[in-house]
Amino acid sequence: MNIPTVLALPYPAQGHVNPMMTLSQKLVEHGCKVLFLNTDFNHKRMLSSVVELQEGLDDESLLKLVSIPDGLGPDDDRNDQRKLCETIPRTMPAALEKFIEDIHVKGDHRISFIVADLCMAWALDVGAKLGIKGAVLCPGSATLFALLYNVPRLIHHGIIDSDYGLALTTKKTMRISPSMPEMDTRDFFWLNMGDPIIGNTVVDYLVHCTRSLHLTEWWLCNTTHELEPGTLSYIPKILPIGPLLRSHDNTSASATTKPMGMFWEEDLSCMSWLDQQPHRSVLYVAFGSFTLFNQTQFNELALGLDLTNRPFLWVVRQDNKMVYPNEFLGSKGKIVRWAPQQKVLSHPSIACFVTHCGWNSIMEGLSNGVPLLCWPYFADQLHNKTHICDELKVGLGFDSNENGLVSCKELKMKVDQLLNDDNIKSRSLGLKEKVVNSITKGGRSLENLNRFVKWLKE
């Protein structure tokens, strides 16, 4: 039988690497060979986060970690989205072409297919040049995909100007299509990157990526039909294959079940701590790989957790330079640098998830029926929050005070409000069932993935 060799290419950020890794592991489970192509920088981070990976993936493994340069210097900031989006299209297509040609010259295994992150869709052009077909994977929502795809149309209709800013006549809300929910135009992701120049550079790069979409029939997306029916009926070409979740029930010792794809080592001590907490009592607080608070906001968050008087598990990344306020007791909580998030969210002691509303976090929360407290940081997270609170009604947002801060009292108030709301709890559990059913036998997402794999193997 034909064993296809698939090259998987994520955009170089944690929230993009995760779903691409999960899809790669699923392809391996279906008998494909996968070369997982990170940037050199992220490749090193990934290897150092899991010791077993360093010796666990030999040449016999169906999943191999490989890398190419990202074009940035050794001291450049890899979180600088503007720098990344300027450098990637300038340097990485040539590096990718050389990488593929070198493999083909060696003749080990010809690459038969490329799965590129939507934010790396230029790779489809490289593939076309070398006679290799491809697919794109959108790691965010289908709504984000639809918005990005429609940027030229928004310019044409005068909703945004050619510099991607809102036109003076633009109303506060709009619908991309009659089947989709209204969007707040101020929530367009590029307007929320902290700096208009960064936003412009990012959206410019992403629009450049969408110009390659005509090269593939396969537009895969980490979503489900139940979460975004209107968007998926508007662009039927977008195939939901989500939620893309690592399976924990798999007890085999194969490399595919290891927590691959993480840039930081997961602190597993939090799992035994969770075992000691009462059922549905713990606030899980995690803001992803990008969010940065200033000292004042960090203080309010810390004091707010004390104020709730509930047990909390708080992820504070090692690059966090903030100091805990003197008054912070933290006695009811546990603080870790990085957590095995899917395991945490599936733990019976978790009561709610205070989240930055990154799409992966949302999918993981919804898949476990955990109500969400939404604290978006940037980009598409603002619209994701609206979707959670107003469309799906499985969470609440925080309100900032006159200084733009979420106060400790606001945190306590929203936690109490959420945990006393039986309607939100029951909607969360109802949605969990629908979302999880989509990836079990007979579910739409699983059928879409199986169709894709079948086509790959033919």
Tens of pLDDT, residues 186-245: 999 999 998 999 999 999 999 999 999 999 999 999 999 999 999 999 999 999 999 999
The total number of residues shown for the chain amounts to 458
Tell me which H or E stretch contains 9: strand 5-9
Confidence class of residue 251 from pLDDT cuts 50, 70 and 90? very low
Q: Tokens in use for 109?
A: 């295994």
* 392-402 pLDDT per residue, tens: 999 999 999 99
Q: For residue 436, count CB atoms less than 10 angstroms from its CB and return exposed for 0-12, middle for 13-18, buried for 19 or more.
A: middle
Residues 322-339, mean pLDDT to the nearest whole number: 96
Beta strand extents in 96-205 (DSSP E only): 113-117, 133-138, 173-174, 183-184
Task: State the pLDDT confidence band at 254, using cuts at 50, 70 and 90.
Answer: very low
Query: Is 3.40.50.2000 the CATH number for 5-259+438-457?
Result: yes
Q: What is the DSSP letter of 166?
A: B
pLDDT at 260: 83
Average of pLDDT values for 6-16? 97
- Asked whether this chain's domains 5-259+438-457 and 277-436 adopt the same fold, the reply is yes
Rounded Cα distance between 206 and 122, Å, is 10
Per-residue confidence (pLDDT) for residue 253, from 0 to 100: 35
The pLDDT value recorded for residue 447 is 98
Q: Per residue in 130-161, pLDDT tens?
A: 999 999 999 999 999 999 999 999 999 999 99
User: Strand 173-174 relative to strand 183-184: parallel, antiparallel, unpaired?
Assistant: antiparallel
What pTM, to 2 d.p., does this model score? 0.95
Element at 272 (helix H, strand E)? helix 269-275
- 277-436 CATH: 3.40.50.2000
Q: What is the CA radius of gyration of the chain?
A: 22
Q: Where are the domains of the chain?
A: 5-259+438-457, 277-436
